[in-house]
Amino acid sequence: MGLDVIPILVGTIPVFLLIAPTVASGLFVYLGETEEWASTLSTVCLSVTGMAQSGSMLMAAFFLEKAVNEQKEALDAILIDKELKLADDLSAKKAKIFREAFSSMCFEVFEMTSKVADLPEGKAINLFKPGGFLAISLFALATIPSTSVQVMGQQMRR
């Protein structure tokens, strides 16, 4: 491809700054099971990882907004594929119908400012409609295999 290696390596430094604390966190969490000092370092590394991830997200949002504002004309000049636009619109319409249909079948409307007393019969359990009980039951049923594999894995490790 005829690319210079040095600029490519310099361009990967931000990726390293995200990966290094994440890998160190995993290492110290693993070692924390046997070494007391490692559990302390795992907490520190997990905090640094969280800060690095949050910082990178904020920087990405900043530079994306900057690029959108500075390059508005160039972005507006990009042609949008009509077939893709129709497919996206159809997908969004289906998702909206699905959300509206199933949310109304599963749960009562309850907002941050709502009170339990506003629910039918004033009971918190009445937040769930029959579809909601089904959804929660299916979720609980789906966690059984995952939990059993974790338990078996812990038993095999001993």
Segment 38-74, tens digit of pLDDT: 989 999 999 999 999 999 999 999 999 999 999 989 8
Q: Is the pLDDT of residue 103 over 80?
A: no
Please tell me whether residues 37 and 7 are part of one structural domain.
Answer: yes
What φ, ψ does residue 107 adopt, rounded to 5°? -140, 150
Please tell me whether residues 56 and 106 are part of one structural domain.
Answer: no
pTM: 0.46
Please tell me whether residues 9 and 73 are part of one structural domain.
Answer: yes
Is 106:135 a contact under the CB 8 Å cutoff?
A: yes
Going by C-alpha positions, the residue among 101, 105, 112, 111 that lies closest to residue 133 is 105
H/E element holding 5? helix 5-11
Segment 87-101, tens digit of pLDDT: 999 999 999 888 777
Domain assignment of residue 115, given as a range: 80-158
- Which of 78, 111, 136 corresponds to the end of one domain? 78
Please tell me whether residues 93 and 152 are part of one structural domain.
Answer: yes
Task: Give the pLDDT of residue 93.
Answer: 93
